[in-house]
Structure 1
């Protein structure tokens, strides 16, 4: 076999193999014939005419995500950076539009996101931006769907994933939140203290009520015992007045005996009525006066008898064992 034949066979084999190509899953291939759109080929083994047909491009049919960071100003003049994540994919039935009508889809999506966010956020104050971020995401998705469907793109979802205000604003917000939490904690502590005070007051009231009831029961039993004691004494011929006096005296001495039985007691019993205290004071004054009179009499007697000799009685034997001396 000569060389031209070999070259021809190699060339024929190359042309034959170039007729076949494969398309990956979740992707599509655009086939052009002499520079004009011919067809869209989906996943699997495909066939094309060598030299005449060519692969113009590949289109990804998977869901893609584009993160867009926008800096804008809120209604209360606070600059914030908002990160919006857009999830989109090419509609399989509109691969032609996605490939030929739009050159840079990411730039197109970014422009629409900027437009919507900068139109919505300046209407809100900073706190509302955090609370209504879902409304911002819905507005972005609605605007993108209306614009990108024409170009063969389907917007799956839009998410506001980050809201980042200025660092000084964040510090101020943190201080406000800390103050609010401290206020709430103080209110709870005050309520807890109030509950404890109320519970303690109720417990004390109940304790006093029970204590009063116990004292009343005790006095009732004492009175019943006294009545029984008077009845017993009446049966033996002692009238009620004498019986009462006897019971009082008995209880008085029983009390003194109980107090005296305690060796560690430092109790001193004093009269506990104004009249008794007055009597005690008068008795003390009388005692002091009597003592002074006795002292003055003794001094006077000593002065009168000073210098006189002693007199020895002669009617008794004079002995050292039994002297009788008068001064």
Structure 2
């Protein structure tokens, strides 16, 4: 009866022991096997066997590319505190799993320490603007230092990136003000240049307008003079002398001017003599002025004639 009870228990125990000797290793993973605390072997991915109760899986090593983000706060050459985010991509070499598992207790802490050391050695040599411009140089320096240090522990540093640069808030505000002022300066220069172009173009247009206006006035006056000359010729042909013709033309232009002013409803007020008596008086004054000028001219001619005759009748000197 006792045997019937112990046999199933013993069978179950044996099955558990057998199954404890079977284990699975995932893809891109290595398992470290120890026997009584001593390293025995490294098993790769797949179904693996070990001696039950004797061999133990001491640990598993991830062979995938991993990323560690490290935030470092340091000071630049121009005494500005800045935070840098360094992203380190690393991987355990498959043929160095033993070194990665037994030589290094905490790879993340080790990598972080080296990142801090390199960044705080490189950034204080640069000004804040240089940190932004030369972030690739910082990444290369960190990558070189980590490869030299972590290679002995079986780690490859795939890539190191400076993914963020965050200065102090007051510094960022000052930088934004500087950028805004610089952009306003450029905008003002462009506005000034545009205004200069507009002024030059306007001056050129006004000069061209004045030139054309002067040319038009000259042409107008030339045509007026030609018209007056033709009018005087026509009047002379019908027996009207030049003085009377000029007076008639002036009176005609006077009434033409009054008519033109009357047609302009928006013209300014101009006070002019517009009665027939005023035109007659103006005509009489002009005729009188022409007559007086003719009389003065005739008198001057007679005086010049007498002088010339006196010089001719003057007796010659005996000594001549």
Please tell me the TM-score bracket, short chain as reference.
0.7 to 0.9
Structure 2: gaps (5+ residues): 274-281, 286-320
TM-score by length of 1: 0.71
Q: Which residue is equivalent to 1:190?
A: 192
Question: Does 2:162 match 1:173?
Answer: no
Q: Which residue is equivalent to 1:120?
A: 122
Report SS of the residue matched to 2:182. Answer: helix
Q: Which residue is equivalent to 1:266?
A: 269
Q: 2:134 aligns with which of 132, 135, 157?
A: 132
Q: Show CA shifts across 1:13-69 (max 9, x none).
A: 222222322222332211233433333323322232323332111111222222222
Cα-Cα RMSD: 3.1
Q: Show CA shifts across 1:75-118 (max 9, x none).
A: 22333333322222222332222112211111111111111111
Q: Show CA shifts across 1:128-181 (max 9, x none).
A: 222222211121111111221222212222222333334444444344334333
Q: Which residue is equivalent to 2:162?
A: 160
**Distance in 1, Cα, partners of 2:78 & 2:100:** 41
TM-score by length of 2: 0.72
- More helix per residue: 1 or 2? 2
Q: Which residue is equivalent to 2:288?
A: none
Deviates more, 1:105-114 or 1:2-11: 2-11
Question: Does 2:84 match 1:59?
Answer: no
**Distance in 2, Cα, partners of 1:41 & 1:231:** 130
Question: Does 2:83 match 1:81?
Answer: yes
Q: Which residue is equivalent to 1:205?
A: 207
Structure 1: gaps (5+ residues): 271-275, 280-327
> Number of matched residues?
272
Q: Which residue is equivalent to 1:21?
A: 23
Distance 1:104 1:239, change over 3 A: same
Moved over 6 A (4+): none
**Distance in 2, Cα, partners of 1:165 & 1:136:** 16
Report SS of the residue matched to 1:188. Answer: helix
